[in-house]
């Protein structure tokens, strides 16, 4: 996969609906955090090795789900308006190949005899680094090239409906897993906007579950206090 990344021709949101922003922030942060962990993992330590492989598999599950969500809900509506999505479709196919390769490398690490586990871990780390590099470029392309095509052909209400279809297609457990990576990656204003809309539109028990199982475990106390103040919640 080859990308030319422009650092100057980045479109402004100009108040338009940001279909990619929150989930891409979450995937970027989760992926970069995991990359650092893979680089510092003591693969001679079986417990540490098992823990990082479990987190890798969770990340790959979310990344693979995200690819499907975009294929089924974003690319299809663009194609319905006669817009080609061939480039990002091809990149998604390459992502799927990378997910399979990374799983194979993770299996190699888990099955390696202790003396060989460090070398297997290094291969996994380098392969994951290569994937993250490609994915960062891919998400940049979507936010600077695909997003303007969406804004050209669809209203904000249309794009909000697309996002709602994606959210509705997921189990509560998977929705919560995405919230866990998205919430800490957002800035305070974005976080308050997302949770404020959820508080208004979702059943109270759903909002409380997100606060208890996604927000509070993933944010430092100061950030939680800031969010509580912005939402005017009882402490």
| pLDDT tens for each residue of the chain, 235 residues long | 555 667 777 899 989 999 999 999 999 999 999 999 999 999 999 999 999 999 999 999 999 999 999 999 999 999 999 999 999 999 999 999 999 999 999 999 999 999 999 999 999 999 999 999 999 999 999 999 999 999 999 999 999 999 999 999 999 999 999 999 999 999 999 999 999 999 998 899 999 999 999 999 999 999 999 999 999 886 5
Is residue 89 domain-resident?
yes
**How high is the pLDDT of residue 170?**
96
CATH at 138: 1.20.120.520
Is residue 205 domain-resident?
no
Written as six digits, the tokens of 130 are 């290569």
**How high is the pLDDT of residue 235?**
57
What is the torsional sign of CA 95, 100, 102, 103?
positive
Per the structure, the complete domain to which residue 79 belongs is given by 21-155
**How high is the pLDDT of residue 3?**
58
CA–CA dist 110, 56 (Å, integer) = 12
CA–CA dist 131, 141 (Å, integer) = 15
Is residue 197 domain-resident?
no
Is residue 206 domain-resident?
no
Q: How many domains are there within the chain? A: 1
Is residue 55 domain-resident?
yes
Q: What's the distance, Cα to Cα, between the start and end of the chain in Å?
A: 49
Is residue 30 domain-resident?
yes
Is residue 86 domain-resident?
yes
Is residue 172 domain-resident?
no
């Amino acid at each position: 996969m080859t990308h030319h990344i422009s650092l100057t021709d980045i479109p402004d949101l100009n108040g338009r609906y940001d279909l990619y922003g929150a989930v891409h922030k979450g995937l970027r942060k989760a992926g970069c955090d995991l990359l650092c962990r893979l680089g510092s993992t003591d693969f001679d330590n079986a417990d540490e090795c098992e823990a990082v492989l479990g987190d890798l598999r969770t990340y790959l599950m979310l990344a693979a789900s995200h690819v499907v969500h975009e294929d089924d809900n974003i690319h299809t509506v663009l194609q319905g308006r006669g817009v080609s999505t061939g480039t990002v479709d091809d990149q998604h196919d390459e992502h799927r190949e990378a997910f399979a390769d990374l799983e194979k490398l993770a299996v190699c690490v888990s099955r390696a005899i202790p003396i060989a586990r460090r070398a297997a871990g290094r291969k996994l780390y380098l392969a994951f680094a290569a994937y993250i590099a490609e994915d960062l470029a891919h998400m940049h392309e979507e936010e600077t090239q695909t997003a303007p095509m969406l804004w050209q052909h669809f209203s904000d209400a249309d794009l909000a409906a697309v996002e709602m279809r994606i959210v509705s297609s997921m189990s509560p457990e998977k929705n919560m897993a995405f919230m866990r990576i998205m919430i800490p990656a957002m800035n305070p204003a974005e976080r308050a906007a997302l949770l404020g809309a959820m508080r208004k539109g979702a059943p109270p028990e759903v909002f409380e579950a997100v606060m208890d199982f996604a927000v509070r475990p993933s944010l430092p106390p100061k950030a939680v206090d800031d969010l509580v103040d912005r939402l005017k919640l009882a402490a």
